[in-house]
Structure 1
Amino acid sequence: MKKHIITLFLICFAFGSSFAQNQNTTVEPEIEMKVSLLGYRFFKDGERLTWKELVKTTEAVEEANQLIKKARTQNVIANISAGVGGFMIGFPIGQKSNDYEPMWELAYIGGAILIAGFPFAIKAFNNVNKGIDNYNIAASPSTGYRFQPEMFVINNQNGIGLSLRF
């Protein structure tokens, strides 16, 4: 009777472990962000994403999507203030190089607009970083620690037994 119980246990264990190994989990590829002189570049599975595609891709994770939408708006404000401020600084410099009387007040105002855009650029960077991190954590559950004990049937000179490894 004892041999029948052990044999039944081993058969059940063999089938159970084979079914557990055959379960496929699909892992969503991570989004990568690279910062260059001209702005942000986003990549997913080797393909480049635009801001619009990034927002659409992250719709599955609400918190990440909201952070990325906010970062996109802040990035637009920072880019507009940088463009306007740069133009207003460059215009008097161009006047000076052509031997005209430069309007330095315009350059001062442009500098103030340029400096006012820095907080928006910093907030955009932080929000897009946080949003992409939140998406990557939520999309790939295998990144965190998962408790996966392993059970083995062992046979040695002392007899048959079970080994559990954590």
Structure 2
Amino acid sequence: MNKITVCLLLTLFMVSFCNAQELTFKKHSFTGYTFYEDGNKIPLNALIEKVAPNPEVLHLVKMSKTKGVFATVISFSGGALIGWPIGEAISGGDPNWVLAGIGAGLAIVAIPIGSSAKKNAEKAVDLYNATLNATSFYEFKPEYKMIANGSGIGLAMRF
């Protein structure tokens, strides 16, 4: 009976200090974002499933994904349009510099779109972590007290 009581108290103590897993993300230069959950890489589909109960976070994650893909496509297209005339010039051909100008314009347009995608990802991660902290750790604040009476000494937990 004494071992069961100790195990129960230990379990309650561990549960009271358990915090939900927070998200972080890392921006890669060309390949988009990688999301991490307590240091472990989490695929985007698993992230979408994880944040699905929170519609605002889900919306921000999907917007970040859409804008990130759009910015990547535009920037690679712009880079190709810049590189083609440069390759022609190096090979001794007659380059079409209008293509390079269009490519430069596309690359410039991709910069604010990519920045917006990064901001949406940051907002989503911050909002998700804020809701985790608000619901998991801060609501459950047990109080521990040592109590003694005529039958012995004990530990009381109030929550």
Q: Shared fold by TM > 0.5? A: yes
The answer to whether the 8 Å contact 1:34/1:41 transfers is: yes
- Please list the CA deviations of residues 97-156 of structure 1 after superposition, one character each: whole Å capped at 9, or x if unmatched: 100011000000011111111121011000010001111111233666987777677xxx
Name the TM-score, length of structure 2 as normaliser.
0.72
The answer to whether the 8 Å contact 1:29/1:140 transfers is: no
Q: Among residues 22, 44, 52, which one is paired with 1:59 in the alignment?
A: 52
The answer to whether the 8 Å contact 2:85/2:99 transfers is: yes
Q: Among residues 23, 34, 56, which one is paired with 1:31 in the alignment?
A: 23
Q: Paired residue for 2:152? A: none
* Counterpart secondary structure, 2:21: coil
Identical columns (%):
27
Q: Paired residue for 1:71? A: 64
Greater Cα radius of gyration, structure 1 or 2:
1
Q: Paired residue for 1:80? A: 73
The answer to whether the 8 Å contact 1:137/1:143 transfers is: no
Aligned AA (1:28): A
Name the TM-score, length of structure 1 as normaliser.
0.70
- Please list the CA deviations of residues 41-77 of structure 1 after superposition, one character each: whole Å capped at 9, or x if unmatched: 1111333123222222211222111111111111011
Q: Among residues 89, 96, 109, which one is paired with 2:102 in the alignment?
A: 109
Aligned AA (1:73): T
* Counterpart secondary structure, 1:60: coil
Aligned AA (2:26): K
Aligned AA (1:22): L
The answer to whether the 8 Å contact 1:58/1:65 transfers is: yes
Distance 1:150 1:49 in 2: 36
Q: CA RMSD in A?
A: 2.7
Q: Among residues 12, 20, 31, which one is paired with 1:22 in the alignment?
A: 12
Aligned AA (1:37): S
Structure 2 gaps, min length 5: 1-7, 148-159
Distance 1:22 1:79 in 2: 48
